Amino acid sequence: MERTLVFSDSSLNYADTRWDEVFQPLSNTCSDLDASDFPGARRDQLVVRLGAARGFLAHTPFHPPAVPADLLPTVRLFHGAPLAWWVGQVLSYLMRLHPRSDQLVRAALRRLNFTRPIVGIHVRRSDKLFHEAEYHAVDEYMAAVEDFYETLEITNGGVARKIYVATDDVSVFDEINKKYPDYTVIGDRNISSRASGKTKYSKEALDGILVDIHLLSMCDFVVCTFSSNICRLVYEMMQSLHVDASTRVTSLDWDYGFTGMRKLRLYRVILQHSARSAEEMNMRRGDIIAVNFYNATNNYGYNLNTSESGYFPIFKTVEDAKSVPFPAYPYV
Ligand SMILES: Nc1nc2c(ncn2[C@@H]2O[C@H](COP(=O)(O)OP(=O)(O)OP(=O)(O)O)[C@@H](O)[C@H]2O)c(=O)[nH]1
Ligand SMILES: [Mg+2]
């Protein structure tokens, strides 16, 4: 919209901590909002208020899966998931750490002896299991971890196996230590025990999740559940730390998507396909297939070019995003 973004309510859920106590401010100069409120989003209005992503923003052309049209053709050349790449670029700017947070993360790296190669696991339990996600056993996470190390060993020979554990269920540590003695397990039980219940939204818990998110994103590979905002955030952050980290996360439940994004996980067809049954759809090279974000693992989609819907072989497609002309600021 070629406007300056100013946070009008910068308090975080955690004991009313302000955004700029944890992250650097969005701008060092444009930090104050004129008190007058102009509802709506008309071009000629001086101040436009935006709500949270799930509501108002979901209907703007710039909402994911939109990626700037001037960047997308290039990003497709080097990246397997252009949407995650774009979100990662924006996030890495928004989440520039305040010096205190930066210290906190650095101290944790040293204290926990964080060295690579390392695989991160994020085991999201506690309140998430009431309505929002299924329980996944430690063994499911570890099966994916074992796959990663076995693949690495094909090229690198014997590798010392190390994992970083982030979880809101502290019992995970004991279970892994007992069942997987071949692994060096690092992680902070204190962080984990503060991450649920009464202490969940304390300032200390905020420090804990900052450390967990950053250390997870620095792992070579992460196993988690994309139903959790934390797993998706880690995936997005990883995209700004590598040229293409699109295959560095395995999710045990959903595929990747952006909160508020509807029906719009997009795939571009790279190999044509003739339906082998009435349940399948035909696809031509270049067709765009839309898949409901929540059904993505079923490979059931809608062909935007032919209006056919049905199951399709996902290996004949690559993930794509929506090309949207964003302002390109030619005068800047
Ligand atoms: N330190 C730490 N905190 C966690 C972990 N998992 C969950 N939490 C806490 O739980 C919060 C996530 O729960 P919500 O407050 O519901 O946030 P959300 O954005 O809905 O995230 P999800 O529920 O995971 O999708 C995090 O911000 C942490 O405070 C973890 O592995 N480590
Ligand atoms: Mg939640």
Nearest atom in ligand 1 to 229's CA = 25
Residue at 20 is within a domain: no
* CATH number for the domain that contains residue 239: 3.40.50.11350
Residue at 170 is within a domain: yes
In three-state form (DSSP H/G/I as H, E/B as E, the rest C), the secondary structure along 193-256 is HHCCHHHCCCHHHHHHHHHHHHHHHCCCEEEECCCCHHHHHHHHHHCCCCCCCCCCEEECCCCC
If asked whether residues 132 and 203 sit together in one domain, one would say: yes
At 328 the pLDDT is 84
User: What domain range is 184 assigned to?
Assistant: 99-251
Kindly state if the Cβ of 120 falls inside 6 Å of ligand 1. no
Residue at 81 is within a domain: no
> Cα(60)–Cα(57) distance, rounded to whole angstroms?
5
Comparison of pLDDT for 332 and 204, the residue scoring more: 204
Residue at 179 is within a domain: yes
Domain boundary among the residues 199, 226, 251 is at 251
If asked whether residues 171 and 277 sit together in one domain, one would say: no
If asked whether residues 195 and 307 sit together in one domain, one would say: no
Phi and psi dihedrals of 300, rounded to 5? -110, 125
If asked whether residues 211 and 316 sit together in one domain, one would say: no
Alpha carbon nearest to ligand 1 atom 25, residue: 228
Kindly state if the Cβ of 22 falls inside 6 Å of ligand 1. no
**Which residue type occupies 87?**
V
Domain boundary among the residues 196, 226, 251 is at 251
If asked whether residues 316 and 200 sit together in one domain, one would say: no
If asked whether residues 201 and 291 sit together in one domain, one would say: no
pLDDT in tens, 79-125: 999 999 999 999 999 999 999 999 999 999 999 999 999 999 999 99
Q: Which of 167, 230, 234, 252 for mutating ligand 1's site (highest number of atoms within 8 Å of CB)?
A: 230
Residue at 315 is within a domain: yes
* CATH number for the domain that contains residue 309: 2.30.30.40
Q: Is the pLDDT of residue 33 over 70?
A: no
Kindly state if the Cβ of 229 falls inside 6 Å of ligand 1. yes
Kindly state if the Cβ of 230 falls inside 6 Å of ligand 1. yes
Give distance in angstroms: CA of 263 to centre of ligand 2: 21
> Cα(35)–Cα(121) distance, rounded to whole angstroms?
44
In the chain, the number of structural domains is 2
Q: Which of 229, 233, 259 for mutating ligand 1's site (highest number of atoms within 8 Å of CB)?
A: 229
Domain boundary among the residues 224, 251, 278 is at 251
Of the candidates 261, 329, 292, 250, the one whose C-alpha atom is nearest the C-alpha of residue 3 is: 329
Per-residue exposure over 32-64, b if at least 16 CB sit within 10 Å of its own CB, e if not: eeeeeeeeeeeeeeeeeeeeeeeeeebeeeebb
If asked whether residues 276 and 197 sit together in one domain, one would say: no
Residue at 242 is within a domain: yes
Kindly state if the Cβ of 205 falls inside 6 Å of ligand 1. yes
At 59 the pLDDT is 66
Alpha carbon nearest to ligand 1 atom 2, residue: 209
Alpha carbon nearest to ligand 1 atom 16, residue: 128
- Average pLDDT of the chain is 90
At 37 the pLDDT is 44
pLDDT level of residue 183 (50, 70, 90 thresholds)? very high
- Provide CB contacts within 8 A for 213, sequence distance 6+: 166, 230, 233, 234, 237
Nearest atom in ligand 1 to 126's CA = 7
Q: Beta strands 162-167 and 317-320: pairing type?
A: unpaired
What percentage of residues in the chain have a pLDDT greater than 70?
90
pLDDT in tens, 235-280: 999 999 999 999 999 999 988 888 766 556 889 999 999 999 999 9
If asked whether residues 105 and 146 sit together in one domain, one would say: yes
If asked whether residues 236 and 292 sit together in one domain, one would say: no
If asked whether residues 162 and 242 sit together in one domain, one would say: yes
Residue at 247 is within a domain: yes
Residue at 90 is within a domain: no
